[in-house]
Amino acid sequence: MTSPDLRRLSADQVRAYFDGHRTVRQYVTQEDGSPLRLSADHLDAVLHAAQRAPTDATAQLYSVVHLVSPQVRAEAARMTTNPHVATASEAFVLCADVRRLARTLEAGGAQSGHWPAVAVHFGIGDAVLAGQNLLTAAEMLGYQGCWIGGVLNDLDGLIDLLALPQGVLPFAALTIGQAAEQPPLRPRVPRPLVVHTDAYRDATHEELREAVEVMNPIAARRDEPGDWARLLRAYFAPGGGMEKREPALEAAMKRQGLWAAEA
């Protein structure tokens, strides 16, 4: 029997596959509420996918912390304010990691240079690529998942919980498992606003207002209509959630040796 060529899907199949992506926070669990773990083979497959992600300069400046202990998962769920970290089939924390590279150089009799800004640039990129490969592989196996930015809610606590040394910075958490909910397909900003030809183009105010209308359903809650602009204000306007997170992230980057000194 000839195996199908999985690298020759049709354009329609590719679009349909990615339209199947959902952000899921409710997962099927055991009868006692404990996580319904992936089989060893499936877990190996998603971690294999993570390691096959592209990387710059061959460096692989990331680490994946697999959360297994119920106590660690419960504490991570509390710190990130995401309860599904404790109930998903599998949970991970994706980290930028320049420590392993520095120690590899040292093991060969060399030293690592001073490049903290570059470390953040490539470390976060590598962590994102590895994590998204992991999630895509999980979806190929029939699972769903959720990226979690809530690591920023208690960076110091998470660094201590996971015993992360200098040179390792938690970027995001990721949960995967068998979905126990069926959320709707979420909209995206119209393509002309995110894909540019040859040079960057600022969108017009009218285009931006239209984008808000397109995105409003993503902010809908129960029977309330969505208001994406209000959601963005809550996160990004003065006094919003991101301003509140800024000092803790800066402090964590300094603590982990990933803050470029001002000239």
Over the stretch 199-239, which tens digit does the pLDDT of each residue have? 999 999 999 999 999 999 999 987 788 999 999 999 999 99
| Distance separating alpha carbons of residues 62 and 171, to the nearest angstrom | 10
How much is the pLDDT for 263?
Answer: 40
How much is the pLDDT for 3?
Answer: 56
Mean pLDDT of all residues belonging to the chain:
95
How much is the pLDDT for 128?
Answer: 98
How much is the pLDDT for 261?
Answer: 63
Reported as a pLDDT band with limits 50, 70 and 90, residue 260 is confident
Q: Does 161 have pLDDT greater than 60?
A: yes
Q: Does 2 have pLDDT greater than 70?
A: no
3-state helix vs strand vs coil in the chain, percent to 5: 50, 15, 40
Domains of the chain listed by start with CATH number: 21-183 (3.40.109.10)
| Other CB atoms within 10 A of residue 252 CB | 21
- Helix 116-140 and helix 40-51: axis angle, to 10°? 140
Overall average pLDDT of the 149-155 stretch: 97
Question: The pTM is what?
Answer: 0.94
Overall average pLDDT of the 139-156 stretch: 98
How much is the pLDDT for 155?
Answer: 97
Name which of 20, 32, 29, 154 is nearest 82 in CA terms. Answer: 154
Reported as a pLDDT band with limits 50, 70 and 90, residue 1 is very low
